[in-house]
Amino acid sequence: MNTEIETPYYLIDEKKLLKNLKKIQYVRERSGAKSVLALKCFSAWSVFDLMSKYMDGATSSSLYEAKLGYEKFGKETHAFSVAYSVEDVEALQHISDKIIFNSVSQFKRFYNKVKHIKIGLRINPRISYSHFDLANPARKYSRLGVTSEKEIMSALSRISGVTFHYNCENDDFKTFSAMLDEISEKYKKILNKVEWVSLGGGLYFTKEGYPLDKFCAKLKSFGEKYNVQIYLEPGEAAVTQSCELVTTVLDVVKNIKDIAIVDASIESHMLDLLIYKIPAKINAKSGKNEYIIAGRSCLAGDVFGEYKLANRLKVGSIIRFADTAGYTMVKKNWFNGLKMPSIVVKRLDGKVEIVKKFLYNGFLNDLS
């Protein structure tokens, strides 16, 4: 590893990424289910050439994501938005293979503009798996997807598929299987009339020890029962354990406990963990030396977590935060004017490449 790269930086390791991609390929070969990358989770297009060899395209949550998928990923481009503007639809109709509507009202409003492409409707099945209410697609009063069967039936003859996105970090196959059975029973009239069904993202099927063969069998059975093409929308599952945020200790201070301050920020560079109040994972040997590791922003709660480490920390110590691909780079920001981490890729052949550096001009031009 090139020790001369200036911290902080995100380090994407293509060999680790490939482990997930091969599992995604395995699922397609044995179940028939296609996988499209959820760009809302991971949009680092410097590794799309590798990912596109094992996945079927990309799915988006906005016009800009759809354009990125179309231009940089290739293959299928799925468009979704909680609510489209007229300008969105004007642009998306020329680059999308599928356009999925969140409501029947938007479907009816824009149908004539997009009827030449595959149209989908998102359904809220009122069941879900999520550890956090904030991320629960079927939470109380959720605006995500159509709940009325009458409304769905009114659009059914003019759509080709439906989306059920109802999971968040679901690594429990039994729960997934039971919920899919419930959906199968509840929506069988609809499922018998469509060509494709997306089961969304949030399924952690690339996790070590996940019963992949049972998962494949379940998907294949569902697809054959309704004669539909199944789509999965892996985000975190595609990139898990493939990236580190590499940082340097700038200072160690004491306020009852030892606090190591690094040249990155959870507020700016790992915002998802701050939102969900989850400590960052760290790649380091455990031991007896206790530290709070904190970021360098002026936010009092800019804290990565508390750790017990084998080695003492000092100015210049390198700290590597693990599993920092999903919902990190897509959420990085210029809070406090802190320098954004560079994006570095370790290619399959071992070559380390700095693919993006963020300088003052980026900060300047992001403002007005």
CATH code (residue 68): 3.20.20.10
Is 148 in the same domain as 220?
yes
Q: What is the pLDDT of residue 3?
A: 56
The boundaries of the domain holding residue 144 are 15-239
Last residue of a domain, one of 218, 239, 260: 239
Q: What is the pLDDT of residue 176?
A: 97
Euclidean distance between the first and final Cα of the chain, in Å?
Answer: 38
What's the domain count of the chain?
2
Contact 180, 213 (CB under 8 A): no
Q: What is the pLDDT of residue 1?
A: 46
Is 221 in the same domain as 296?
no
Q: What is the pLDDT of residue 121?
A: 98
Q: Encode the chain (368 residues) as per-residue pLDDT tens digits.
A: 445 899 999 999 999 999 999 999 999 999 999 999 999 999 999 999 999 999 999 999 999 999 999 999 999 999 999 999 999 999 999 999 999 999 999 999 999 999 999 999 999 999 999 999 999 999 999 999 999 999 999 999 999 999 999 999 999 999 999 999 999 999 999 999 999 999 999 999 999 999 999 999 999 999 999 999 999 999 999 999 999 999 999 999 999 999 999 999 999 999 999 999 999 999 999 999 999 999 999 999 999 999 999 999 999 999 999 999 999 999 999 999 999 999 999 999 999 999 999 999 999 999 88
